[in-house]
Amino acid sequence: MAKLYFSYAAMNAGKSTLLLQAAYNYRERGMRPLLYTSALYAENGIGLISSRIGISEPAALYSSEDDLFQSVRDELDAGKVDCVFVDEAQFLTPDQVWQLARVSDRLKIPVMCFGLRTDFLGKLFPGSSELLAVADTLREIRTICECGAKATMVVRQNADGRVLTDGEQVSIEKSVYISLCRKHWEEAVGRWPVKGPSI
């Protein structure tokens, strides 16, 4: 049975690497995967899913106006589609999450979404929120904080290394993000100034 999957993590956990590996496995077995990434990551109008370990692959671009159900259905006219992969899924709109759910429910094609759960202020992205609500299978991909604990949050820093506590939710400059555990994120953003002895 086809399902809608959401694999989520903080920055630098290897989400894109896992996506590219899974797509490779489909191709190696003679199957046809479709790859999508956010138009926010277009390079000269071209979509590319890139991993920090140096692998990359072309991908179709989606923006908030696109109907992804129709896009996949159009691809079916060109031949069988065995799986749909979506990188940067946090940038999906809630409607697009439902379009992808329809791909799995009505077209019987598995859809695997990979993305961030929360932004640098600890708030859910709209696409991630909807995926957490409606995906059939949720999977957390783990990375670690500087202290060795599981990192679940990200901070955004400016060029001087100062942690930012306001600004637009979307900034695609990856080098300004650091993954932290909840405790160190809270300390970094000053959400809860600790008074008295530490525990």
Kindly tell me if the per-residue pLDDT of 166 is higher than 90: no
Q: What is the pLDDT of residue 177?
A: 77
d(CA 82, CA 45): 26
pLDDT digits (tens, 9 = 90+) for 1-29: 799 999 998 887 889 899 999 999 999 99
d(CA 31, CA 39): 25
Question: What is the mean pLDDT of the segment spanning 37-59?
Answer: 85
Which own/partner contact pairs does 154-158 have at CB distance under 8 Å and 24+ positions apart? 154/10, 154/11, 154/116, 154/118, 154/119, 154/120, 154/178, 154/179, 154/180, 154/185, 155/120, 155/180, 155/185, 155/188, 155/189, 156/120
Q: Which of 57-66, 144-153, 189-198 has the lowest mean pLDDT?
A: 189-198
Cα 60 to chain centroid, rounded: 15
Cα 182 to chain centroid, rounded: 19
Q: Which residue has the tokens 């001087």?
A: 160
Q: Provide the mean pLDDT of the chain.
A: 87
- 3-state SS class at 36: strand
Kindly tell me if the per-residue pLDDT of 199 is higher than 50: no
Where does residue 112 fall: left (phi above 0), alpha (psi -120 to 50 degrees), or beta otherwise?
beta
Q: What is the pLDDT of residue 168?
A: 67
Residues 6+ apart with CB under 8 A from 77: none
Q: Could you tell me which CATH number the domain at 4-142 has?
A: 3.40.50.300
Kindly tell me if the per-residue pLDDT of 32 is higher than 50: yes
Residue 195: pLDDT band (50, 70, 90) is: very low
In the chain, where do the E strands start and end?
A: 4-9, 33-38, 48-50, 56-58, 60-62, 83-86, 111-116, 137-140, 143-144, 150-151, 153-157, 163-164, 177-180
Q: What is the pLDDT of residue 193?
A: 46
More confident residue, 34 or 182: 34
pLDDT digits (tens, 9 = 90+) for 105-153: 999 999 999 999 988 888 899 999 999 999 999 999 888 888 888 888 8
Q: Which residues are catalytic?
A: 88
Q: What is the pLDDT of residue 173?
A: 59
Q: What is the pLDDT of residue 197?
A: 42
Q: What is the pLDDT of residue 3?
A: 97
